Structure 1
Amino acid sequence: MSTAENTTDPSVHRPGRPEDLPAAPVLWARWGLLAGLLSTREREAEREIHRAGYWMASGRDDTLRFYDGGASWWALRRAGDGRYVLYGEDESSEVKWQEEAIDVLGGAPDWLPLELLRDLVESYMIGCVYWYEDGAWARAPYPAGLADDGLDCGMSRLFTTGRAADEVEPWMDHETADPDAEVDPEAAARLLTDAVSGSVGEEAVRAFLVDAGLAEEEIPGALVTLRRTGLLAE
């Protein structure tokens, strides 16, 4: 995977606009790297309903997930042929509380997992849906009065290299890592940049995790997750 990266700090609109999002392969690379770096055997054994942080969906190599442990959950799914769909909810979203319902699937292409998304909509579990095709994001139209769809509070943590690097330390599993070790944000940023450019290497990942204090026996699992994302070669 190799995609040009915009490392500037974007001004994110509320409600979100398609142009606020980084290119989907960039978002996948950042998210996927975090899923790998933060993978441990204990976390991989958890039921997804109880899991928090960044991870690759159980039994699915096409879906990355995030849950902040409170009121923000998201998923990014690859649909093949350069297509992706981002969906989820942050408590800041006002979409499902509108007096006149907003159809978040309005204008959506038929390659989306529509049955899944409709079930989530009907269960009042979705704040927004964005889809990516032909190198551009899109979403359903919103009414003029909508203040927020949750994209900023929910996903802007991955919109720049620096913000994504800052996500590593808070989500490290300190029960399986040396509590006295520290995560180097500059090293994390280098790995993220390499992931986006398609040049992340196993030795660099291993060295980062050792320096971050992760137990040696946990590292193979992290590498397996990174291979599942496609960021590391098989």
Structure 2
Amino acid sequence: MTIQRPGLPEDLPDPAVLWARWALVAVVEATTEAEESTRYRTGTWIDDQGLHLDDCGCTWWTFADLGNGRYVLYGEDESSDCKWHEPPVDLLAGGPDWLPYEELRDRLAGNELGCVYWYENGVWARAPYPEGLKDDGLDCGMSRFVERDKAHSLLDDYVGYGRPARELLMDHAERRRLTPELLAEHVSSLEGGAPDLPAMTRALRRAGLDAQV
């Protein structure tokens, strides 16, 4: 699947697929309880507000499951032209009333928001863009999860048994059948040693990728 520039709603996969791939990376990157409570984090993680990505540089994203089949995806990549466009692009135009407007408006006020997509009734949507807008950052930000091969590569540092192991974990994640036992068997720490299995298990349950949920 290819993401256009600027992105189109139909470029995004089913939110359950996007969630599973993103959450799997958050699970294998899961760390200690002390670091989980850190206010400012980088990398990929999950908390009560949803899935997050922050490379401590040019891109940050949040993906939240708001229940009843509703999702919101928002963030910024430096490639986005939205906040520099004249006149300004209203990224919330046409948005449903259930979006997290307080957070989104706060981000807009801080000039931190590159695009917003929402999902309801089986379809993705976003605000209309002006003709000639070149990019909203969706491709650079989300292709890592939308394109399966790129999603595989995000597991390289943690899954040391090659592509079959990565494929196995991703298949189980997408089917909501991932288990702590599978993680313990196939995932290692960045240093090559044993991973923090309790942290991975907490992230796994929080993400809803395990068969017990």
Report the TM-score when normalising by structure 2. 0.91
Alignment of 1:196 with 2:183, yes or no, is no
Are 1:73 and 1:90, in contact at CA under 8 Å, matched by a contact in 2? yes
What are the equivalent positions in structure 2 for 1:121-132 lying under 5 Å apart? 121-132=108-119
Listed one character per residue, the Cα deviations across residues 117-166 of structure 1 (whole Å, up to 9, x for unaligned) are 11111111000000011121100000011000000001100013321110
Q: Specify the alignment match of 2:8 in structure 1.
A: 17
Are 2:71 and 2:120, in contact at CA under 8 Å, matched by a contact in 1? yes
Distance in 1, Cα, partners of 2:138 & 2:34: 26
Distance in 2, Cα, partners of 1:211 & 1:71: 25
Which residue of 185, 194, 211 maps to 1:215? 194
Alignment of 1:53 with 2:32, yes or no, is no
Are 2:33 and 2:199, in contact at CA under 8 Å, matched by a contact in 1? no
Alignment of 1:169 with 2:160, yes or no, is no
Cα shift at 1:68: 1.7
Are 1:162 and 1:189, in contact at CA under 8 Å, matched by a contact in 2? no
Per the alignment, in what secondary structure is the counterpart of residue 169 of structure 1?
coil
Alignment of 1:140 with 2:118, yes or no, is no
Which residue of 5, 16, 36 maps to 2:27? 36
* Change in 2 beyond 3 A, CA 1:157/1:210: closer
Per the alignment, in what secondary structure is the counterpart of residue 156 of structure 2?
helix
Distance in 2, Cα, partners of 1:101 & 1:205: 46
Distance in 2, Cα, partners of 1:52 & 1:42: 15
Q: Specify the alignment match of 1:89 in structure 2.
A: 76
Identity value in percent: 45
Distance in 1, Cα, partners of 2:50 & 2:182: 24
Are 1:131 and 1:139, in contact at CA under 8 Å, matched by a contact in 2? yes
Alignment size in residue pairs: 211
Distance in 2, Cα, partners of 1:38 & 1:79: 24
Per the alignment, in what secondary structure is the counterpart of residue 16 of structure 2?
helix
* Change in 2 beyond 3 A, CA 1:165/1:81: same
2:76 is aligned with what amino acid? E
Which residue of 156, 164, 168 maps to 2:143? 156
1:85 is aligned with what amino acid? V
Cα shift at 1:210: 4.8
Distance in 1, Cα, partners of 2:86 & 2:20: 38
Cα shift at 1:201: 2.5
Report the TM-score when normalising by structure 1. 0.84
Distance in 2, Cα, partners of 1:114 & 1:150: 20
Q: Specify the alignment match of 1:176 in structure 2.
A: none
Distance in 2, Cα, partners of 1:107 & 1:169: 39
Alignment of 1:228 with 2:206, yes or no, is yes
2:74 is aligned with what amino acid? Y
The unaligned stretches of length 5 or more in structure 1 are: 1-9, 173-180
The unaligned stretches of length 5 or more in structure 2 are: none
